[in-house]
Amino acid sequence: MNVLVLLDHGDGRLRPTALELLTLARELPQARVHAVWVGAAPGEGARAEVAAHGAHALHHVLVDGADDRLTASVVDALEAVRAEVDAPLLLVASTFEGKEVAARLAVRTGAGVVTGAGGLERDADGRLVAAKTVLAGTWTTRCALEGPFGVVALAPNSVQASPLPRPAPAEVVEHRVEASAAARAVTVHSREPRPTSDRPALAEAEVVVVGGRGVEGDFSAVEELADALGGAVGATRVATDEGWIGHEAQVGQTGVTISPRLYVGAGVSGAVHHRGGMAASATVVAVNSDPDAPIFEFADYGIVGDLTEVLPALSAEVRRRRS
């Protein structure tokens, strides 16, 4: 079975989600993995990483007539590769960009789509079945792809990326496609890069420390713990609405959906709209002075205490153990 994997990359480097997708794809029974890189040619380092994580072929696609970072251009590229590679499955990252690609491709091809998946396997009947949590983490569902072509958007950190012990080189296949009318309809006049940070991207981070109403405008302890753990900083809607931190840090149904291996909520009540954005977290730690806060109902570990005392103590202990 041929499996397409859309590689998410920036500045010539693969993002962690791309390596997770490749690892999942190669572990499917009898899978032949075709990685798709859209845009300027990947460097030797990226090519080596793609091969090391199980790709049999690396398809480099250039789109003529439109900005290759537009979603419509990426869909043009994927359609071109799929026309040459008979693949019943495409894997993308379950990010804002990845889900938009999945939706556009589904409209064009009639593909079945599963977003926010936490895993993928073949069942006894040979069907591809994706697992995902829904309704703020209260239900775990299994979604079977029944049609001839399906797209699965995998939540970040659902798979532990791992290279092969003895990888073989991946065949590099060059493609050049004409942009569709949808891609040509958009003109990009300028781009403003996001501010750089030593912290990982919120949606992809393995560790996220979130501050809520309880921080009362001071995120210093939250940021200190996040840096000690090598994680990202998030916030609840209240904290962003109050202007304590930018809206790009909001975690929840109307913000960023995260699936870290470790979530630490400081001064977070655990309202349902916030839980909807972090329910896929593997381990949840809650720090709150209110013993009746709803977050304690689903936290794996709970600390009832003053976050201005607890978080610095946690940061100090983490640094001591790592020194």
- φ, ψ for residue 249 (rounded to 5)? -90, -5
Angle at 29 between CA 23 and CA 31, to 5 degrees: 65
Neighbours of 166 (CB within 10 A): 6
Q: Where are the beta strands (DSSP E) in the chain?
A: 2-6, 9-10, 13-14, 32-38, 57-64, 89-93, 112-117, 119-122, 128-134, 139-145, 150-154, 171-178, 207-211, 232-235, 262-266, 283-288, 301-304
Predicted pLDDT of residue 161: 94
Are residues 50 and 58 in contact, defined by beta-carbon separation less than 8 angstroms? yes
pLDDT at position 126, please? 86
| DSSP code string of 26-65 | HHSTT-EEEEEEESSPP-HHHHHHHHHTT-SEEEEEEEET
Cβ contacts of 202 within 8 Å, gap of 6 or more: 208, 232, 233, 234, 248, 249, 251, 256, 258
Give the model's pLDDT for residue 191: 85
Q: Are strands 301-304 and 262-266 parallel, antiparallel or unpaired?
A: unpaired
Same fold across 2-184 and 207-322? yes
Give the H/E segment covering residue 77.
helix 71-84
Q: How far apart are CA 314 and CA 319, in angstroms?
A: 9
Whole-number pLDDT of residue 192: 82
Say how many C-beta atoms besides its own lie within 10 A of residue 226's C-beta: 25
pLDDT recorded at residue 285: 98
Q: Is 214 exposed, middle or buried (0-12, 13-18, 19+ CB in 10 A)?
A: buried
Say which residues have a Cβ less than 8 Å from residue 73's Cβ, sequence separation at least 6.
38, 63, 66, 67, 179, 183
Instruction: Let me know if domain 207-322 sits in CATH 3.40.50.300.
Output: no
Residue with tokens 């996220």: 208
Instruction: pLDDT tens for the chain, 323 residues: list them.
Output: 999 999 999 888 999 999 999 999 999 999 999 999 999 999 999 999 999 999 999 999 999 999 999 999 999 999 999 999 999 999 999 988 999 999 999 999 999 999 999 999 998 888 999 999 887 667 889 999 988 999 999 999 999 999 999 999 999 999 999 999 999 999 999 888 766 678 999 999 999 999 999 999 999 999 999 999 999 999 999 999 999 999 999 999 889 999 999 999 999 999 999 998 999 899 999 999 999 999 999 999 999 999 999 999 999 999 999 98
Are 78 and 101 in contact, with CB atoms under 8 Å apart? yes
pTM: 0.82
Q: Using CB atoms within 10 Å of the CB of residue 75, give its burial: 0 to 12 exposed, 13 to 18 middle, 19+ buried.
A: buried
**Integer Cα distance of 40 and 320 in angstroms:** 43
Domain boundaries, the chain: 2-184, 207-322
Distance CA(141)–CA(279), nearest Å, equals: 14
CATH 3.40.50.620, domain 2-184, yes or no = yes
pLDDT (0 to 100) of residue 195: 65
In this prediction, residue 323 carries a pLDDT of 87
In the numeric block, the tokens 């977290």 are attached to: 281
The pLDDT value recorded for residue 194 is 66
Determine the pLDDT at residue 242.
94
Q: Which amino acid is at 131?
A: A
